[in-house]
Amino acid sequence: MDFSEMSPDKPSAEPGRFGRFYLQELINSGGMADIWVATDQNGKHYALRRLHKDLRFSLTARKRFNRGCEILSKIQGHEFIIGYVEHGAIELTPYLLMEYVEASNLKILMGREDPLLAENLAQIIIDSAVALEHMHESGYMHLDFKPENILVTRSGGVRLVDFDLAQPKPEKPITMSKMPGTPSYMAPEQLQKEQFDARADIFSFGVMAYELLTGRKPFPGETTEEILRAELTGPPANLREYNADIPPALEQIVLKCLKREPAQRYPYMSVVVRDLQTALYI
């Protein structure tokens, strides 16, 4: 995994030894963890995600980090999911070892209007949907599906990453007292702390696809309250108002994913994938 085009929040972090690994280059630093290019004793390259040292004794942070590692280990082996190698703790610090791929996340590519997107647009949309379908069929919800968590290689290959917020897929909708995530990509039932299920991920996929196809979010807002108000006010503008080249069938798929009521959305990602393949002739 290569986030080399993202500016780390902690540029003072120094390369060096970490157990049997050598941390070569800090490529991203988020709220919970750093991601390094690391090599083992044989010189093989990996992406190593390491919990911030000041969170080592936070039970909440450790639990969330380790849960994401465990879930990734259970859904591994799929071409559109970042490759899992191992996880554990070194010097009391949890870490996750993953495959290293040269890629940029989808948010960066969208921000600079990278030609890679235009060349691979249909395939990126379908492959992202297939990644989410695999996760659901493996028994989990992602709950943080957004462009930042989709890596795209220079050949247009997709990898879904970051499973810290993932949860087992329930048989019936559930409620959670705390609902972490990114408001712009969260379904209205999540923002209102009401019952939700895997159809919340389908809504998030719809937001990502809408933004990728039009260059704007379907429900704009600077705050959670503004975003929720937009979601509850009415349906978003038709995608073809912003991009007349979008096939009408694709527009209808995305808008169905974005329905306010979960029962009006697609019931399963497998149906989304089927309709996308039909609409895009893939």
Crossing angle for the helix pair 199-214 and 269-279, nearest 10 degrees? 30
Each residue's pLDDT tens digit, 3-26: 444 433 444 468 899 999 999 999
Q: Torsions phi, psi of 244, nearest 5?
A: -70, -10
Each residue's pLDDT tens digit, 220-274: 999 999 999 999 998 999 999 999 999 999 999 999 999 999 999 999 999 999 9
Tokens of residue 249, six digits = 């069938």
Same domain, 174 and 235: yes
Cα–chain-centroid distance for residue 2?
15
Helix (H) or strand (E) holding 89: strand 84-90
Q: Tell which of 40, 74, 98 closes a domain.
A: 98
Same domain, 88 and 107: no
Tell me if 27 is assigned to some domain. yes
Average pLDDT score, the chain: 93
Number of domains in the chain: 2
Tokens of residue 171, six digits = 């048989």
Same domain, 154 and 118: yes
| Residue 81, pLDDT above cutoff 50 | yes
Q: How far apart are CA 4 and CA 47, in angstroms?
A: 12
Say what the pTM is: 0.92
Crossing angle for the helix pair 199-214 and 115-137, nearest 10 degrees? 180
Q: Which residues are catalytic?
A: 144
What pLDDT sits at residue 180? Answer: 83
| Residue 115, pLDDT above cutoff 50 | yes
Q: Tell which of 98, 123, 139 closes a domain.
A: 98
Average pLDDT on 184-202 reads: 96
Alpha helix (H) residue ranges in 78-155: 106-111, 115-137
Q: Which domain holds residue 163?
A: 103-279
Same domain, 239 and 162: yes
Each residue's pLDDT tens digit, 21-66: 999 999 888 889 999 999 999 999 999 999 998 998 999 999 999 9
